[in-house]
């Protein structure tokens, strides 16, 4: 036992150093996830998340959960199998929402002057908490994927409804009916986003009539289950320590 | 220890940089000055904007102005661009400096995408309400699916006042008066803050205890099961149940508060009504056309036949929003943007009135710096080196006829 083998001299010091590491790792994880998840979500969910007039009952409900369960699944894999920490999904969503709010407030509003009530992000928190708790209670990837993935899809629309409902109030404008969200899209000119790019209320679920949102949510939940499995394995693989030399890492 | 600490610090810094890039990099397109970089053939052979009018040069916050005029959908639409079967009448401004209070093709409000026919001419009007002070270049614009934005001429408009005064009042079908500018904003902030706080509470619950190294040691030494206590599970169940109760409860209360909601409105609008342009009695044949690179001028040899009953003169050649006028015949009184107007840019070897029944072959030159400034000369480097434009003829009573020309263009470098 020599000084070169241990960097600390006492238990108290070890605890303090360990705690310092906690905060550093947490901060690093948070910011790295923020960057990666944010870019991923912008590229895949993009306009559906940016604009209120894209937040429809079919495609937004379907697409947003499917593309957003990715990082939570991967980070859960890492934090659970290495540290038994059931906070992976929540950390991801906290990081993503922080990044999104910075972007929407600083860029969309602060730089380009789109009103915040037009370009606010979607709420993913209810699904994240439930996903983490299911992992903690069951301790099983399969259970989390199936039950948690489904819950992730199902909780998305109701979790966002209190936020978007006021914008779905109808209004008559120059002889046509709009929702207020549609009118936002029409009023607040987006030169680079012509109306035909908007993918809303399209799809093959017409026969379900009014109840299209629950059907979309179920479909989204099913696909989320599959994506969860896939990204859970990405997380495990990414989390391997094969590339680091040394024992007992 | 020091080395590891440095490494972690370095890594944190890298992560922070990634974050900043990700968070700050993306801004929705605000610029509307793509007009010069758009391929010349796109501007010459797709949409021809004419008879344009910007109702004001200066407008105060909350006041409105209109941009109106006509556009002709060119029959010789290039094959490389999708036809305007799905198109959207947009407006080229740097972000929402105005709100688009209304837009019409013919008499039809066009908040959504429309289907247009090749060879037809449509009237349009865009009503803008000033929102943000500044000097803005306001372009006409039509987006075509599969073709991209087709930008028309732009004119500088000054908005005066302060953005804080801007209001966007509306009365909903449920009878409420709202200001769309900040409507429901508190509600959005409230729910996002509440859910963020709940998520943060869950994280803090776990972050309050030693997190990574001791837990990792415990997991590696087979004591993973000791890391989640019965108490933790109870708290977890409370969080999950609380989440579901809050979701269900807030959804129910929202439905009570907003009993009337409708889905987003979408779908292509068909049946845009074109205008009947006066029948043309003038027939123009392009014998040849050359672009003289050093002289920044286009020369056309035209054989013009007048089949009407009134003598006509050529007053204007317009292509890619640049208007070349023969000052003897036509003077612009619409306040067309200077940089796109060549008031004496059109000369003809013989522009005396062409009598009914007469045919004449003339050399017509359209010259102006705009060929260079607006990069129209780049046309000669296009894969299909053709030009297209509109010729306007005027009879003695001032009646106008519009004739399309579309022909190969040969560059001349000497
Ligand atoms: Cu411009």
The CATH number for A34's domain is 1.20.1450.10
Q: Which of A112-116, B7-11, B192-196 has the lowest mean pLDDT?
A: B7-11
Q: Does the domain spanning B40-171 belong to CATH 3.30.930.10?
A: no
A233 is a domain residue? yes
**Nearest CB to A83; choose among B28, B216, B233:** B216
A249 is a domain residue? no
Q: Per the structure, how many domains does chain A have?
A: 1
Q: Report pLDDT digits (tens) over A160-191.
A: 999 999 999 999 999 999 999 999 999 999 98
- Counting residues of chain B whose pLDDT is more than 70, the rounded percentage is 92
Q: Report pLDDT digits (tens) over B86-116.
A: 999 999 999 899 999 999 999 999 999 999 9
Q: Report how far ligand 1's centroid is from the alpha carbon of B370 (Å).
A: 14
Question: What is the distance in angstroms between the Cα of B90 and the nearest Cα belonging to chain A?
Answer: 7
CATH number of B282-412: 2.60.40.1580
- Residue B80 pLDDT: 82
Query: Is A137 within 8 Å of B30 when comparing Cβ atoms?
Result: no
> Angle A88-103/A11-44 helices, nearest 10 degrees?
60
Q: Residue B248: its chain A contacts at CB < 8 A?
A: 158
A69 is a domain residue? yes
Q: Report how far ligand 1's centroid is from the alpha carbon of B128 (Å).
A: 17
Query: In terms of C-beta density within 10 A (0-12 exposed, 13-18 middle, 19 or more buried), how is residue B79 classed?
Result: exposed
Q: Residue A206: its chain B contacts at CB < 8 A?
A: none
- Segment A39-59 shows an average pLDDT of 91
Interface-testing mutation among B212, B215, B241, B249, with chain A (most A C-beta atoms within 10 A): B212
Average pLDDT, chain B: 88
Q: How many CB pairs under 8 A join A and B?
A: 340
Q: Confidence class of residue A5 from pLDDT cuts 50, 70 and 90?
A: low
Q: Report how far ligand 1's centroid is from the alpha carbon of A183 (Å).
A: 25
Euclidean distance between CA atoms B116 and A25, whole angstroms: 58
Q: Report pLDDT digits (tens) over B177-187.
A: 999 999 999 99
- Counting residues of chain B whose pLDDT is more than 90, the rounded percentage is 59
- Counting residues of chain A whose pLDDT is more than 90, the rounded percentage is 63
Query: Is B206 within 8 Å of A86 when comparing Cβ atoms?
Result: yes
- Kindly list the domain boundaries of chain B, sorted by start residue: 40-171, 179-257, 282-412
Q: Report pLDDT digits (tens) over B364-409.
A: 999 888 888 887 777 777 777 788 899 999 998 888 999 999 988 8
- Segment A55-76 shows an average pLDDT of 94
**Nearest CB to A34; choose among B11, B19, B218:** B19
Query: Is A168 within 8 Å of B261 when comparing Cβ atoms?
Result: yes
Q: Is the pLDDT of residue B11 over 80?
A: no
Fold of domain B179-257: Helix Hairpins (1.10.287)
Q: Residue B261: its chain A contacts at CB < 8 A?
A: 165, 168-170, 179
Q: Report pLDDT digits (tens) over B216-249.
A: 988 888 888 888 999 999 999 999 999 999 999 9
Domain boundaries, position A110: 16-237
Question: What is the distance in angstroms between the Cα of A116 and the nearest Cα belonging to chain B?
Answer: 7
Q: Report how far ligand 1's centroid is from the alpha carbon of B152 (Å).
A: 9
* Residues by chain with Cβ below 5 Å of ion ligand 1: B 33, 137, 154
- Segment A112-121 shows an average pLDDT of 95
- Segment B7-24 shows an average pLDDT of 65
């Amino acid at each position: 036992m020599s000084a070169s083998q241990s960097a600390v001299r006492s238990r108290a010091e070890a605890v303090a150093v360990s705690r310092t590491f906690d905060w550093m790792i947490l901060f690093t994880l948070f910011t790295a996830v923020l960057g990666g998840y944010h870019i991923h979500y912008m590229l895949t969910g993009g306009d559906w998340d940016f604009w209120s007039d894209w937040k429809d009952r079919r495609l937004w409900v379907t697409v947003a959960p499917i593309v957003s369960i990715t990082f939570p699944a991967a980070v859960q894999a890492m934090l659970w199998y290495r540290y038994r920490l059931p906070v992976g999904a929540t950390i991801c969503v906290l990081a993503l929402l922080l990044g999104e709010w910075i972007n929407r407030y600083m860029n969309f509003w602060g730089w380009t002057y789109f009103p915040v009530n037009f370009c606010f992000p979607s709420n993913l928190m209810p699904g994240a908490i439930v996903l983490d708790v299911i992992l903690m209670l069951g301790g099983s990837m399969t259970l989390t994927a199936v039950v948690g993935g489904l819950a992730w899809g199902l909780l998305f629309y109701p979790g966002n409804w209190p936020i978007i409902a006021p914008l779905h109030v109808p209004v008559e404008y120059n002889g046509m009916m709009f929702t207020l969200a549609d009118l936002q899209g029409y009023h607040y000119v987006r030169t680079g986003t012509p109306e035909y790019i908007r993918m809303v209320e399209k799809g093959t679920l017409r026969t379900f009539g009014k109840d299209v949102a629950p059907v979309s949510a179920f479909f989204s939940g099913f696909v989320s289950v599959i994506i969860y499995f896939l990204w859970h394995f990405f997380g495990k693989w990414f989390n391997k320590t094969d590339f680091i030399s040394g024992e007992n890492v | 220890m020091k080395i590891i600490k440095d490494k972690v610090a370095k890594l944190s810094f890298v992560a922070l940089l990634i974050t900043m890039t990700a968070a700050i990099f993306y801004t929705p397109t605000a610029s509307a000055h793509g007009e010069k970089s758009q391929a010349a053939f796109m501007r010459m052979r797709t949409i021809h904007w004419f008879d344009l009018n910007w109702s004001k040069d200066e407008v105060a916050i909350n006041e409105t102005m209109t941009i109106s005029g006509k556009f002709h959908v060119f029959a010789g639409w290039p094959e490389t661009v999708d036809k305007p079967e799905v198109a959207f009448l947009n407006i080229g401004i740097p972000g929402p400096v105005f709100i688009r209070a209304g837009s019409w093709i013919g008499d039809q409000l066009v908040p959504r995408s429309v289907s247009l026919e090749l060879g037809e001419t449509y009237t349009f009007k865009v009503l803008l309400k000033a929102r943000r002070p500044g000097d803005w270049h306001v372009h006409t614009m039509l987006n075509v699916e599969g073709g991209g934005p087709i930008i028309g001429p732009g004119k500088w408009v000054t908005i005066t006042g302060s953005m804080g005064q801007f209001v966007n009042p509306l009365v909903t079908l449920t009878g409420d008066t709202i200001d769309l500018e900040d409507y429901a904003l508190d509600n959005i902030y409230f729910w996002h803050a509440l859910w963020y706080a709940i998520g943060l509470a869950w994280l803090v619950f776990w972050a309050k205890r030693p997190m990574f190294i001791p837990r990792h040691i415990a997991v590696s030494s087979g004591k993973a099961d000791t890391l989640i206590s019965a108490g933790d599970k109870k708290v977890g169940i409370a969080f999950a149940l609380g989440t579901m109760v809050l979701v269900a409860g807030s959804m129910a209360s929202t439905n009570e508060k907003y009993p009337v909601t409708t889905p987003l409105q979408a779908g292509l609008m068909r049946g845009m009504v074109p205008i009947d342009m006066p029948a043309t009695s003038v027939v123009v044949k392009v014998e040849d056309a050359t672009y003289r690179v050093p002289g920044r001028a286009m020369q056309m040899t035209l054989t013009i036949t007048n089949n009407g009953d009134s003598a006509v003169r050529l007053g204007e050649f317009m292509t890619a929003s640049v208007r070349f006028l023969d000052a003897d015949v036509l003077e612009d009184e619409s306040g067309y943007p200077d940089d796109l107007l060549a008031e004496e840019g059109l000369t003809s070897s013989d522009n005396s009135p062409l009598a009914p029944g007469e045919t004449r072959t003339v050399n017509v030159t359209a010259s102006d710096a705009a060929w260079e400034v607006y990069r129209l000369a780049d046309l000669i480097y296009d894969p299909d080196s053709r030009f297209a434009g509109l010729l306007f003829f005027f009879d003695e009573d001032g009646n106008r006829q519009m004739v399309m020309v579309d022909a190969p263009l040969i560059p001349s470098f000497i």
